[in-house]
Structures are given as C-alpha cells and as structure tokens.
Amino acid sequence: MVLMNFVTKTVVVCVVAVAGWIVMKPPYPEPPTPLDPEEWWGHEDLRSSQNHDIRPFKINFTSEMIKDLKSRLSNHRKPAPGLEGAAFTYGFNSGRLSWWTRYWSEQYPFLEREQFLNSLPQYVTNIQGLDIHFIRVKPKAPKGFTVVPLLILHGWPGSVREFYEAIPLLTKPSDEHEFVFEVIAPSLPGFGFSQASNRPGLGPYQMSMIFKNLMKRLGHEKFYIQGGDWGAVIASAMAIYYQENILGYHSNFLFVLNGYSMVRTLIGAVLPSLVVEPHLASRMYPLSSHLSFLMEESGYFHLQATKPDTIGVALSDSPAGLLAYILEKASSGTMTSNKLLDDGGLSLTYTSEQLVDNLMMYWISNSTTTASRIYAEFFQIDNILMVLDKTTTEVPTWGLQAKNEIIYQPETVLRVKYKNLLGVTTLEDGGHFVALEKPEEFARDVSRAVTAFRRFHRSRHVV
C-alpha cells in the first residue's frame, strides 16, 4: 500500500510537471507594454493649466462633519441579531456593532486624533491630472549617515494610517546602519485624500507610473520601494517597468501568480517537500484548506471587482456599515482564527483609536467607492496580474512573510520572477497588516533589506 501510494504520487507529479512545462512555461525577461508617462486622469479642461507645485496639506475634522457622523452613528438601524455562538464566522458580529458605534460617536477623541494624523508632514501635488496626497518625512541625519529615499505603498482596506508607528522608526538614525530613510507614503489614487480618476482605466499598473512621476517630482530618480496588499502589486510593477530607477524592492506581500508558479504549487500539494521546507509547509498545505480560506474570505473581492459603485453607495452612506465591512477584514486579515472570537480578536492586536483612525481616512474623504474601484480596474483584460507576472525583474528584492499572511510562497517559487531575491524573513506571528501590527519588526526588516540592497549594488560597482 505504501509503495502504491508513492507510485501514484510520483505519476501525478510527473504528469502535472510535464503538462505545466508544456502549457505554462516559466516567465521570460520580455519587457511589458510601456506605460504612457503623460497619460491624463483628471478633467480634460484642466490639462493646460496643471499646477506642478508641492503644497502643504492638513487633515481637517470639521465640526459639520463630526456632527453629521455622530448623528448617523447614533441613529443607525439596529442590525438583525447574530446567530448564537457564530462570533465572526458569518461576518461582523452584529452583537458587537453597538459597542463600536458608541465608541466612534461618544468616545473617539476627534480633535486629539486630528492632531495625531497631522503630526506627520503632508502634501499634495498634481501628477497626470490628479492631486496626489502624500506624507513626506525627512530625517535629521547625523554626520556619516546617508539619507536614502523610500516609497512605501498601502493597500485596501488600509491607508497611510498603517505607517504612522513605523515611519518614526524608519526616519530615526540607528547604530546598526549607515543610512536613514526619507519616507514618502502616498495615498493611492482614489484613496483617502488622493484624487480619483475622472475616467476608467486607472489600475495598479498605471498607478506605478504616477508614483514614479511623484518621486521624480520630489527629486528622486533612484529610490527604494516597499509595498503590501495593492501596494505590493504596484511596487512589483514598478520593479518591472522601472528597473533602472528602483534600487530595491521590499514587500510584506511578495508573491508570483503565473502558470509556472501554479504548477509548482500543485506539485507541492502531492509532495510538499519538492516545493517548500518541511517547517513551513503548513503555510501552504494542505492546499484544500488554504483554498477554502481564500474562497470564504474573498466575497468582497468579487463584489468590488465587478460592482464597486453599488457597494460604495451603502458604505459611503452608513458609517456603521463601513465600520462592519472594514473591521471584519481587519479581523480575518490579522489572523484566520479571529473569526471564532466574539470581538473578532481586534483588541488583541490594535487599539480602538488605530482602527477608527483608518475608518476616518475613508469617511471624511468620501473615498470608499473610488478606493474600491481599484479591484474593477485591475481585472480589465490588460491589467490582470498574470500578464505582468510572466516578466522577470533584476531589481534586488526582499520578502517579509508574516505567519498569518493570506498567501505564502517559498523562495523557490518567488525566484521564478524575482531573479535577485536576496532574502526572505519569516515571522512566527503577524498578519496582513504587519506595518501596523508590528512596526518595530517591519521597520527593522526594511532596514535589513536595504542594507542587503546597498551591498548588492556595491558588489556590482553601482552607486
């Protein structure tokens, strides 16, 4: 019986491998279709009068906004009772909703949080027709330290709020490194205080051009990038399109989605040892449980990829609905087992202020609908991930893999695309929002990666 099982597995592996190799060849270093650096996303009548100035920006919690928000929270319709013992398994536990709406309305310190959100310098500048909002923190570098530019990119349902704890760590000189970061953290177009496109087509690949142009506007022809979630998709595109400009790419959501990587994953489902180290195999296998998790948690993905404006109406009108929608994702994205807890495990990782700060970034800017559109734009035929993931990059790369991240891939798969993958850090905890969950580990790993990137360039005599 043991021999029969071994033979069966071997045959399956061989068949899958041969079929995969024939049908889905590995990525090739063929450049993708170029992006237009002048593509216009704003109102056409403003094209001739574009303002290139970099203007200071302040987040403003107006008294009218606060009054309206409190009224909506206090008068929201009572939800249907939750099922006994269901916790977060059916979605946000409706039994916890009243606590959160009361907190947001009656206990969240609006003026104090407004001051906190303005504690980092913020600006806007017009790039390709859109006003792009960004945080920019320049360090006070002691003698002997080199200041290096770092672009960090968030995703959905996050915002630049994810980086507030990590930025002071990244911009503070350390005896462990010879450099310190100048951090630029923009809001993605349509998110928070960055203007949304006036027409269809602005997906993550097109956003990569906007951010390259932003960095050029700030005086940086060459720079490092970091990204998670959609920020990882955008940063990965930058590492392919602009290999002469990107000095290194660090990601806490590093993955490859193409036919070759899929075949390798399927082979590992039969013989995991051929794909992943034994102590990390549970992060990928059994494949059925991981696919079940993705199916269970991806309903929002399909909805936003097909009808973002419909769900946007509900979430933009009801702060209680926005709260339930986003905090449920904060729960499951942090740790899968949180769904079994009555409060979704939110208090185990975050403060109430942190979570509501992020909600405020969506609410006061009325950007829920426009942020959701990134899913629909991405799934246009010219934007699907597998198109770009057939192309390799020589940009030095580093991965940070939290234990509870929604996707895990081993180095053997990642190297198919990232030819100069210099290292991978595997954490024994942490989830999808690792910059907010574990800012110290996040900042430390970014610095470790950039140290490796600088060593890599020196070895090639590249400044």
**Residue positions annotated with a catalytic role:** 229, 375, 432
* Strands (E) located in 314-410: 397-401
Return the ∠ at Cα 384 (arms to 162 and 206), rounded to 5°: 60
SS percent in the chain: helix, strand, coil, step 5 = 50, 15, 40
Please give the C-alpha separations between residue 416 and each of 117, 157, 205, 225, 235, in angstroms, as whole numbers: 40, 29, 20, 20, 17
DSSP annotation of 367 reads -
Rounded CA separation 274/320 (Å) = 47
Amino acid at 439: P
To 10 degrees, what angle do helices 230-241 and 204-217 make?
Answer: 70
DSSP annotation of 391 reads B
Please give the C-alpha separations between residue 58 and each of 55, 61, 122, in angstroms, as whole numbers: 10, 10, 7
DSSP string computed for 94-108: GGGHHHHHHIIIIIS
**Contacts by 65-70, CB closer than 8 A, 24 or more apart:** 65/364, 66/110, 69/104, 69/105, 69/319, 69/363, 70/105, 70/106
Q: Based on the number of CB atoms within 10 Å of its own CB, is 157 exposed (0-12), middle (13-18) or buried (19 or more)?
A: buried
Residues 6+ apart with CB under 8 A from 8: none
